[in-house]
Amino acid sequence: MNRVTSTPVEFVVTGGESSKRIDVFLANRDPTFSRSALQRLIGEGRILINGQTVRPSQKIKPGDRIRLEVPRPEPLDLKPEAIPFDILHEDADLLVLHKPAGLVVHPAPGNWSGTLVNALLHHFATSGVTPSHIGGKERPGLVHRLDKETSGVMVIAKTDQAHRALAAQFKLHTITREYEALIWQVPKKGRGLIELAIGRDTKERKKFSARTTKPKASATDYQVDERYGKVAAHVRLSPRTGRTHQLRVHLTSIDHPILGDKTYGGAKVMSVQGVSIPRVMLHARTLGFTHPTGGEYHQFDVPCPPDMEHVRDLLRAATGH
């Protein structure tokens, strides 16, 4: 069995810090750590205050000496695979790509091959790059993700510095993100803001909803871009937060689930006016961020993919719009 080593980090709490929980303090200090990850490290005894083990709820105070032992990633045992993807931009710090619909982003139990990570490992190996491993061995370079059936723009970190800088922008919601979707029926208002705290559903663990023990505030702006009679609409979406399944859950909460999303919309969203829907009709169209080393703003746009555009054409023909 391979021994997992760790990298110790030490610092002293400054006099200007207000009293707060240790997990909250550390999550604010380093955005690459989620509170759940920090709580796991605390439970493993890898976070000490003044040489003593702590509880997640323990409060810090000025002068406290904090030591973290961050486990180094285990050697990758995933296989590089020559899976094609479109590269929109690449430099020494990062890679921007267009993920096609149907491609799983990262491996998981029962699904260790055929993912974007396998494709990235092949790409990096052929170019002699060792990607950031902050996210763990199954997520090299991954700062964010898209669901399997969602297409669109993603950014991948190639260095730890780039990973931390991009993760901070995502956490502070300074990233520019715009999605487009085809939804069931037409909202009464042409634009609006959906605010709904969501988390993992208490009864259906693979779903997210407001029925949760750990609700997290989330907000999404929407704008109706095109109507197909009364049966469907094309909308632009700007998430102000980045919760798992946020757009899918938010649109379902206002009774306009995304077409093709059987998980949240049921059978009714799989066929509209005789038009069969092949997948979840959601596309990450725009991604903009500040470059982690250059400091300049970059924005990337990928127009509506052919399969979504085809469904739009069929809906126009079916409804006479």
Are residues 141 and 120 in contact, defined by beta-carbon separation less than 8 angstroms?
yes
- Structure-token match 């009364």, residue found: 230
When computed from its CA atoms, the radius of gyration of the chain, rounded to whole angstroms, is: 22
Per-state percent for the chain, helix, strand, coil, to nearest 5:
20, 30, 45
**Average predicted confidence (pLDDT) for the chain:** 89
Percent of the chain with pLDDT over 90: 64
Sign of CA dihedral 263, 260, 154, 157: positive
Active site residue 313: no
Q: For residue 203, what pLDDT is reported?
A: 85
d(CA 48, CA 42): 8
In this structure, of 53-57, 222-226, 275-279, 293-297, the range with the lowest mean pLDDT score is 53-57
Tell me the two tokens of residue 246.
Answer: 């946020």
Q: Is the pLDDT of residue 1 over 70?
A: no
Q: What is the DSSP string of 147-179?
A: -TT-EEEEEEESSHHHHHHHHHHHHTT-SEEEE
How far apart are the C-alpha atoms of 111 and 224, rounded to whole Å?
Answer: 36
Q: Architecture of domain 176-319 in CATH?
A: 2-Layer Sandwich (3.30)
pLDDT in tens, 98-115: 999 999 998 776 667 899
Residue located via tokens 């469904």: 311
- Is the domain spanning 86-171 CATH 3.40.50.300? The answer is no
pLDDT at 123 over 50: yes
192 class by beta-carbon count within 10 Å (0-12 exposed, 13-18 middle, 19+ buried) = middle
The values of phi and psi at residue 255, to 5°, are 65, 30
For residue 3, what pLDDT is reported?
A: 39
Give the separation between CA 154 and CA 116, rounded to whole angstroms: 11
Q: Which residues of 31-48 are buried (b: 16+ CB within 10 A; e: fewer)?
A: bbbeeeebbebbeeebbb
Pick the closest to residue 140 from 165, 106, 167, 98 (CA basis): 106
Closest-CA residue to 143 (of 283, 32, 271): 32
- Span 61-71, mean pLDDT? 86
What are the backbone angles phi and psi of residue 276, rounded to the nearest 5°? -80, 135
* Shared fold status for 6-71 and 176-319: no
Q: What is the pLDDT of residues 246-301, one digit of tens each?
A: 999 999 999 999 999 999 999 999 999 999 999 999 999 999 999 999 899 999 99
CATH code of the domain occupying 6-71: 3.10.290.10
CB atoms within 10 A of CB 12: 10
Per annotation, catalytic residue among 64, 93, 147, 261: 147
Check whether 134 has a pLDDT greater than 70. no
Q: Determine the average pLDDT of the residues in 52-73.
A: 84
Domain boundaries, the chain: 6-71, 86-171, 176-319
| pTM attached to this predicted model | 0.76
Nearest to 138 by CA among 115, 113, 106, 111: 106
